[in-house]
Amino acid sequence: MKKIAVVLSFLSGILLCSLYYKNYHSFPHFKNKHQYKSILTPTQFLDYKTEKGQIPSFSAPKTLILCYDNHLLKSVLDKYKHQQCDGAFSNVCFLSDYPSVAIAKFGLFGGLNAFRLEMAIAWGVKRVIAIGTSCALQKDISQKDIIVCEKSIRDEGTSYHYLPYGKYAYPAKKLQKKLLLTLKQLDQPYKIGTSWTTDAFFRATKEEVAHYQKEGVFCIEAEAASVLSVAKFRNIEMVVMLTVTDSYANLKWEKAVDYKKQKLETLNTMLKIALKLADQN
């Protein structure tokens, strides 16, 4: 009987701890927020922009390629014929040789990019391919590597206003399969794994990095979990590709040697992959 009592006491302790952990970590603070409708929707806000004369004269592209790097965008616009969108989407450029494909410059961190992605979806975008940079957590990841984001740790705030509490945000399964097939068709080496999204740029600690290294997390970045959660909530397809420009692998910040040139080369390679993927139905 004593053994049974000890076991029951132990199991009760585990249950109480798990409940405490769940409640302690739940976010946002308003419980079950995800069951309720927004006061202001992206469509309403876009209608407001229309009334202000800021509606674009272009129809939305089927596929939007997101980039976060100014040098990549400049190299794309120097190389490819394009038309810049107008109105509320002046950050979007249509690529003339790729019907229904456009590239857009987004910014840093999840909140701003969630807003811009919401607007693009309200405009009519159905598929998104994000090309970004990150900081490596593992020693065997270099600036030449293309990382396909298999899932992203939701260590930021934005995603929790779109999806219930959970550790990861995921890309769209069908589009991810097409991306992996495209990489195979192009005979392009890549690595597939987990990223860690945080909006606290200067608060990554040695302890956290060591923890996520043990979990096998590839890199840290600032946008993936947020935008993937928006895409999931709005029921559109989205995938994320990343490269690295620096490293925390040795538990200190190390910038890659000659990183700007190599970064641009890898980003341009990812762009070619994105365009190949965007050509598919």
143 domain-assigned: yes
Collect all residues with Cβ–Cβ distance below 8 Å to 12 and sequence separation of at least 6.
none
Residue 203's pLDDT band (boundaries 50, 70, 90)? very high
**Residue 51 to residue 23: CA distance in whole angstroms:** 44
5 domain-assigned: no
141 domain-assigned: yes
Q: Which region, left, alpha or beta, applies to residue 216 given φ > 0 means left and ψ of -120 to 50 means alpha?
A: left
Q: 55 versus 68: which is more confidently predicted?
A: 68
151 domain-assigned: yes
Q: What average pLDDT score do residues 12-37 get?
A: 64
Which pLDDT does position 20 carry in this prediction? 43
Give yes or no for a contact between 230 and 251, defined as CB atoms under 8 angstroms apart: no
89 domain-assigned: yes
66 domain-assigned: yes
13 domain-assigned: no
Collect all residues with Cβ–Cβ distance below 8 Å to 139 and sequence separation of at least 6.
247, 249, 250
Using DSSP, state whether 89 is helix, strand or coil.
helix
pLDDT in tens, 106-165: 988 888 999 999 999 999 999 999 999 999 999 999 888 999 999 999 999 999 999 999
Furthest C-alpha separation in the chain:
80
Which pLDDT does position 223 carry in this prediction? 96
The identity of residue 30, as a single letter, is F
Range of the domain at 197: 61-278
CATH of the domain at 264: 3.40.50.1580
pLDDT in tens, 253-279: 998 777 778 889 999 999 999 999 998
pLDDT of 14 above 50: no
76 domain-assigned: yes
- Counting the structural domains of the chain, the total is 1
Give yes or no for a contact between 101 and 36, defined as CB atoms under 8 angstroms apart: no
**Residue 254 to residue 121: CA distance in whole angstroms:** 37
pLDDT in tens, 223-244: 999 999 999 999 999 999 999 9
% of the chain exceeding 90 in pLDDT: 69
The most confident of the ranges 11-25, 35-49, 67-81, 235-249 is 235-249
Q: Which region, left, alpha or beta, applies to residue 235 given φ > 0 means left and ψ of -120 to 50 means alpha?
A: left
Give yes or no for a contact between 128 and 236, defined as CB atoms under 8 angstroms apart: yes
pLDDT of 11 above 90: no
Checking DSSP bridges between strand 237-247 and strand 219-221, what pairing results, if any? Answer: unpaired
Least confident of 11-15, 35-39, 48-52, 153-157: 11-15
